[in-house]
Structure 1
Amino acid sequence: MSEALHGALRIALLTHSVNPRGGVVHTLELAQALHQAGHRVTVMAPATAGQAFFRPLPCPVELIPVGPASRDMTEMVGARIQAIERHVLGWLEAGHAFDVLHAQDAIGANALANLRDRGLISGFVRTVHHLDHFDDPRLMAWQTRGFLAASQVLCVSRLWQSVLRQEHGLEAALVHNGVDTLRYSRVPEPCDQQVRQRHGLVAGQAHGAPLFLMVGGVEERKNTLRVLEAFIQIRHDLPGAQLAIVGGASLLNHDDYVQQFSATLQASGLPIGPGQAVVITGAVPDRDMPALFRAADALLMPSVREGFGLVVLEALASGTPVVVSRIAPFTEYLDDTDCTWADPMSVASIARAMHEVLKHKASADTLAREPPDVCRRFSWPASAQRHAALYRAFHSLRELPHARHALSPSLA
């Protein structure tokens, strides 16, 4: 029986970009936790000239050279699939060996599927965070192939397990996200005020100017337009309120939705920019995120579709209450004591939840500074342990002659 079934695993984690998106954050946190558990982890990601990951890692990182992102998404995805395929092949030809090749998205998965089809690797693992709809049939085909070609499929929520089972007849294993409660904490840090000032954030609810925070940029999936419409209503009652939208470094093209959002914002007459009613920061330094959560009176995440919603745990660990959609996956791990619910399709419901969450914030400020129970239930070391067990099950099955790569009920 292989040493990999008992000792340290050699793991390659592939992610689609170096930008701070949920799946990329998951990759880096998982890599660090696996590394700390004694495994030999290498993280691989495509990057343009001068790009690097938004936070340092304790394990080796391989940045795969690619050209600037094309406005033609199909062309860009195809180019990145080829670049990752060439890069991994180069590693294999140089004599590097991995017990596990694990793609966190369809781009890396298709590169590994190409290598598998050429007989150069025996299989690979794929995590499905969520699935998108694309008008381009080639993008849809790549998305589907990315999990159907995998030898072992993982999901971060029961919602997407169910989708894969019902729509594709595929059984996926559940793995959880986590939260670093040392990094994300209610305890203020000396830099907090500087971060506030640098991004033009207002004083906060205690000074009659509540700050609502969104993370992920302006995207239809994030429901940013309805949040803006709800905020416009809120400003009638709370004229000092501020909406800060941070992040948004996505590879996907959201131009049409951004135009709708911009037209609505302009028609509202709300001032835009640092210190104004609406602040749109774009990508921010990763080191600023804990302070941004602590600065906010509430995190708004009434998304219409999510894989898990990692920033919800980060906000809660920072002592910031959250508004989330009363839909899966949020309903899988949150209850009435953890959040304020909203109907993501109703602007009025989102506005009511925004009013309600401010009341919750006022009472929560009097509570102990320990992270809530929901944050203690999810940790990256536990996620790494779960991944390692699934990797070993996958590795064991690969060593059995003619074995099918299915998981036992106890692991699935």
Structure 2
Amino acid sequence: MKIALLSYSTKPRGGVVHTLALAEALAVLGEDVTVWTLGRGGDTGFFRPVSPAVRLRIVPFADGPADETVGQRVQRSIATLRDAFDPAPYDIVHAQDCISANAVGRCVRTVHHIDHFTTPELAACHERAIVEPYAHICVSTAVAEELRAGWGLSAEVIANGVAYDRFAATDPTARSSWRSRLGRYVLTVGGIEPRKGSLDLLEAHALLRAEHPDVRLVIAGGETLFDYRDYRARWERRADELGVEPVVLGSVPDDELPALVAAANAFAFPSLKEGFGLAAMEALAAGVPLVVRDLPVLREVFGPAAHFAATPAQLAAALGHTLTVDDPAGRVAGQELAAAHTWSEAARRHLALYRSLN
């Protein structure tokens, strides 16, 4: 089959990681796969090398004026990708986000999670990207149920894969380097933004330091289309008030990320909304204790392999527990769960769905 997978960015966000891994796994199965995306900020490639078996079409997307709003940037993103994309050569057009779904029209759509926007352009984009596709995929049953309850739509549930070997077998020297640089640390990946629960994690970190003053909070990632400067300013003010100084790494080179994860003493994932939690599953693959927000979707995905917390105090207590109680059996259970999620199986299930639609 000739398959087009579409995303909105070349940066290391969860949906982009998913798109590339799925494309490569489909190509291994012998399919003809092309990934389309927007090259923001002059990008001519993705954040990591991509298998040469996958064709890449990166559409240049120039920076807008300094006063461009998020809504205007979204509309310009849709128009730019729409003008460049021709669906005619493809048997399947599969969009991974609301921008690409709006750009290509008739498509299969993966709904990774359901957002609730107040900006009119974003709200309209989100709605069209749910109701207009002719088939839907969700990465968890919880999100599929949201789709059914809110729109009466039925979705195929196909869980994410995880690059298990990449995180389970990291270089000891690289891990040692991160520990020498950072000491003992709690890691989170995803940047500083409302959906990631960053303010709650900051509060939890301040509470945790009362019992573990040597433990640092380390934050990696954060590439996003949206403008979270106001939220980041609130976060920085609150850090000053609490007297804590988290380490904000920003985007970490892809080849350095597994060792950073594996060297952590605990992984925190206090997101307020998620579809699966790929970064958290990667932490389990690395054998790192995991503390997540107590959400139905994360209960579904992680079950007994994670510790759950609903408030900053509970988050701090759960992190403190993982820092003081060694749990080899828990690490093994987490790694077994991560190992069960393969991209090859995800690709086979996608391919079966694609064939049923043609």
What band does the TM-score fall into relative to the shorter chain?
over 0.9
1:86-137 CA-to-partner distances (Å, cap 9, x unmatched) read 1113x74xxxx11111100010101111xxxxxxxxx311100012222222
Unaligned 5+ runs, structure 2: none
Measured in 2, the distance between the counterparts of 1:334 and 1:34 equals 26
Q: Is structure 2 residue 348 aligned with structure 1 residue 382?
A: no
- Please give the secondary structure, in 2, of the residue aligned with 1:191: helix
Q: 2:198 aligns with which of 224, 231, 240?
A: 224
Report the count of equivalent residues.
353
Contact 2:163/2:343 (<8 A) preserved = yes
Distance in 1, Cα, partners of 2:312 & 2:42: 41
Query: 2:288 aligned with 1:358, yes or no?
Result: no
Q: CA deviation at 1:371?
A: 6.6
Partner of 2:104: 112
Equivalent residue, structure 2, for 1:255: 229
Task: Indicate conservation of the 8 Å contact 2:8/2:37, yes or no.
Answer: yes
Quick one: structure 1 residues 43 and 386, their matched pair in 2 at CA, closer, same or farther if it must change by over 3 Å?
A: same
Aligned to 1:135: 118
Give the 3-state SS of the residue equivalent to 1:176 in structure 2: coil
**What amino acid does structure 1 have at the position aligned with 2:269?**
M
The answer to whether the aligner puts 1:299 opposite 2:294 as a matched pair is no
Q: Among residues 139, 144, 148, which one is paired with 2:131 in the alignment?
A: 148
8 Å contact from structure 2 (residues 284, 331) kept in 1: no
Supply the distance in 2 between the matched residues of 1:69 and 1:377 (Cα, whole angstroms). 43
Q: 2:298 aligns with which of 330, 344, 347?
A: 330
Secondary structure of the residue aligned to 1:184 is: helix
**1:192-230 Cα distance to aligned partner (Å, 9 max, x none):** 334455xx411x3xxxxxx10011011111111111111
In the alignment, which residue of structure 1 is the partner of 2:247? 279
Please name the residue that 1:64 is paired with.
59
Matched, 1:242 2:208: no
The 1:87–1:367 alpha-carbon spacing in structure 2 relative to 1, beyond 3 Å, is closer
Offset, 1:373: 2.2
SS in 2 for 1:378: coil
Spell out the pairing of 1:389-400 with structure 2 (5 A cutoff).
389-395=352-358
Could you say if the C-alpha distance between residues 388 and 294 of structure 1 is closer, same or farther in structure 2, counting changes exceeding 3 Å? same
Question: 1:235, 1:376 → 2: CA distance?
Answer: 33
2:256 partner SS: helix
Structure number having the greater helix percentage: 2
Query: SS of the counterpart of 1:50?
Result: coil
Q: Is the 8 A contact 1:30 1:383 kept in 2?
A: yes
Is it true that 1:172 corresponds to 2:155 in the alignment?
yes
- Look at both structures and tell me which one has the larger radius of gyration over its CA atoms: 1
State the 1:256 CA deviation.
Answer: 2.2
- What displacement does 1:171 show? 0.9
Write out per-residue CA displacement over residues 22-53 of structure 1, whole angstroms, 9 at most, x where no aligned residue. 11111011011111111111111101353121
Out of 217, 230, 233, which is 2:207 matched to?
A: 233
Q: Distance in 2 between matches of 1:64 and 1:339?
A: 40
Q: Which is further off, 371-380 or 305-314?
A: 371-380
After TM superposition, give the deviation of residue 372 of structure 1 in Å: 2.3
Gaps of 5+ in 1: 1-8, 114-122, 205-210, 273-277, 396-412
TM-score, with structure 1 as normaliser: 0.82
- Find runs of 4+ consecutive structure 1 residues off by over 2 angstroms: 186-197, 362-368, 370-373
Secondary structure of the structure 1 residue equivalent to 2:255 = helix
